[in-house]
Chain A
Amino acid sequence: MATVEMPGSKVGQWVRDDQQAGTFKVNREAFTSPEVLALEKERIFDRSWLYLGHGSELKNPNDFLTRYVGGRELIFNRSRKGEYQAFLNVCPHRGAQVVREPTGNAISFKCFYHGWAFNNNGKFATKSRPGTYPDDFDCNGAVDLARVPRLESYRDFFFISYDADIGPLAEYLAGAAEILDLVADHSPNGMEIVGGTQEYSIKANWKLLVENSNDGFHASETHETYFGYLMDELGGPDAVDLKSLDQINRARDLGNGHAVVETKAPWGRPIARPLQTWGEQAKTDAESMIAELNERVGPERALLISDRDRNMGVFPNLVMNDIMAITVRTFYPDAPDRMTVRSWALAPVGEEPEARHRRLNNFLEFLGPGGFATPDDVEALESAQRGYGAVKFAPWNDISRGMHRDPPRGDDEAQMRAFWREWNRRMEAE
């Protein structure tokens, strides 16, 4: 049988990628070891583009927000001129956090500890009595707020990197950029983050959530109760189109460790795939949305936007799920067996109130810590993490599913292999 994935087999300390045999194994130590986590911070998190936030979160000049990204507290803000900026939220004086509110609007920041102050472009602006500091004290930037080494955006999605020498974001995103385009093209008016952040932690290694977020295989088992609910809502099993889910179902390696699965799922989509139960207005709204999409992006892309469901992982820790609603999710490890997660809902700017309500309803049915599905994912991840306690005697995870299938399906595990190959490449310092 033809080998359809990347050529060549690789046997590393943690990843055994055997193309010939069609097997792919990951050592569970990769999920439990503090040494692995330390190496991940150095070789992955400090050398990638990491999701920071969406442009819509800072609507006006001087708006700011604080956010924990890649293990550091940051200030994401806009200058008086409206430019987007990212700083380490650390006072250059003695290290206290300069901004302590989650969001706001400010032309300057002042540290509460000793009162060092900064313009909102990070420039040192502390008034001291003459003679307190040398005249050239603030001339070389050493007492300015430190900027995050790199900040770039793609279609209003802002990313930072702690690696000053990293290549451009668009290059790094590779094929993921096309999927972000599909998300950004939902609306002619742009997209925005809806107010409210879901913030939670999971007692599991962060890579378990990477795997879970675009794992098409687990859905029917883990989320039996969600699909049961959906069937009831739709009017019984006969009313549910599971055939399309089976027929339209593929996984794509997007390069650089990014991957997406694309299906046509039975749930409704707030963008132009209404359920019967949403009523006549939703149907009419959908028709006009499709007409608008056809006009603006052409029928081929309109179909991809309105009638396909995508779960994408952007290496290492961004998930963009464009499913029954759009969720933007990012996470970071606090320890080998613990991560913090932040999720947002993304929606078209200027969406009709009724449509916005349907979208958020749809979001909550499946997604998030109170939804009908995510709690069971959390349970599964924590259960696996407990299982890894037996790593010494049961060392290997298997993610071989569909390794010889061409093209791979969304309920295969090719998308995870894409992640792990990039992870392995970096961790083995190839």
Chain B
Amino acid sequence: MTAQDLTLARSAVQPRSRADYEDFLYREAALLDQWRLDEWYELFTPDSVYEIPTVGGGLEAQPNNSLFYIADDYRRLHHRVTRLKKPTAHAEFPHSTTVHNVNNVRIEGADEDGVRVVCCFTTYRSKHHNTDTYIGHIYYTLAEVDGEIRIRSKRIVLGMNSLQPHGKISIIL
């Protein structure tokens, strides 16, 4: 038995088909591209986290002992959404144009927290006649809540060396 089988055996959430998760991730991407942030926020569970470690942090880094770019719990994520809707969130006023691409979706395992789904992403952000590209991998834990897929954790591991020339992560990746 592999470690993955073992975790599956323990009261684990039964994974759905990959197509179901792909549909979910495509829908999430569409909400972000359309700046429907309230609806996007509803995709998260109340115990969720949304995290972007600094480069080199990867999966091992923890926000309680190393410096991240973003380490939001559900509450702070709500503030992030509230902030981004204000015209005084200057970096995103007027809103930039984004294209969130999701690909190479894989189901990596499951446990009682949910199903581990990993994908690659390419997100373009365009503003001031300039387009920045964010690339990397996203590690999701996707839960089942009342028959719907919900995000329990979303960790973005950037594939760039540094935020050059972006200067900021003012959008949601």
A interface residues, Cβ below 8 angstroms from B:
102, 194-203, 222, 224-225, 228-229, 232-233, 338, 340, 344-345, 353, 356-357, 360-361, 363-365, 368-370, 372, 374-376, 378-380, 382, 386
Interface string of B107-135 (1 = CB under 8 A from A): 00000000000000000000010100000
Q: Which residue of A lies closest to B161 (CB)?
A: A199
B83 lies within 8 A of A195 (CB) = no
B67 at the interface (CB under 8 A from A): yes
- Please determine whether B168 and A378 come into contact, CB atoms closer than 8 angstroms: yes
Q: Which residues of A contact B65 (CB under 8 A)?
A: 194-195, 353, 356-357, 360
The chain A residue with its CB closest to the CB of B156 is: A370
Is the CB–CB distance between B168 and A228 below 8 Å? no
Contact A200 B64 (CB under 8 A): no
| Alpha-carbon gap, A232 to B89, bound state (A) | 16
Residues on the A chain within 8 Å of B167, using CB: 200-203, 369, 375, 378, 382
Name the distance in Å between B72's Cβ and chain A's nearest Cβ. 8
Q: Give the distance to chain A from B96, nearest Cβ to Cβ, in Å.
A: 11
Q: Which B residues form the contact surface with A (CB < 8 A)?
A: 52-57, 61, 63-71, 76, 79-80, 82-83, 86, 88-92, 128, 130, 161-170
Subset of 18 A-B contacts with CB under 8 Å: A194-B65, A195-B57, A198-B69, A201-B165, A222-B90, A224-B86, A228-B83, A228-B88, A340-B162, A340-B164, A353-B65, A360-B63, A360-B64, A360-B65, A364-B68, A368-B67, A375-B91, A386-B128
Contact B169 A357 (CB under 8 A): no
User: Chain B at the A interface: mostly helix, strand, loop or mixed?
Assistant: loop
Task: Give Cα distance in the complex from A382 to B55, angstroms.
Answer: 24
Given A225-B83, A370-B69, A372-B80, A196 and B54 touching (CB < 8 A)? yes
User: Is the Cβ of B86 less than 8 Å from the Cβ of A375?
Assistant: no
Q: Are B69 and A195 in contact, CB atoms less than 8 angstroms apart? A: no
For residue B138, give the distance in angstroms from its CB to the closest CB of chain A.
15
Which of A222, A356, A370, A374 has the largest count of B CB atoms less than 10 A from its CB? Answer: A370
Bound-state CA distance A228–B70 (Å) is 19
B55, B83, B164, B165: the one within 8 Å of A229 (CB): B83
The answer to whether A194 and B69 have CB atoms under 8 Å apart is: no
Are B56 and A102 closer than 8 Å at their CB atoms? Answer: yes
Q: How far is the CA of A361 from the CA of B163 in the complex (A)?
A: 20
Nearest 3 A/B pairs, CB to CB = A196-B67, A200-B163, A370-B69
Contacts of B90 in A (CB 8 A): 222, 376, 379-380
Contact B54 A379 (CB under 8 A): no
Query: Which residues of B lie under 8 Å from residue A376 when comparing CB positions?
Result: 89-91
Q: Which residue of B lies closest to A199 (CB)?
A: B162
CA distance A146 to B55 in the complex (A): 30
In the complex the two chains form, is B168's CB within 8 Å of A200's CB? yes
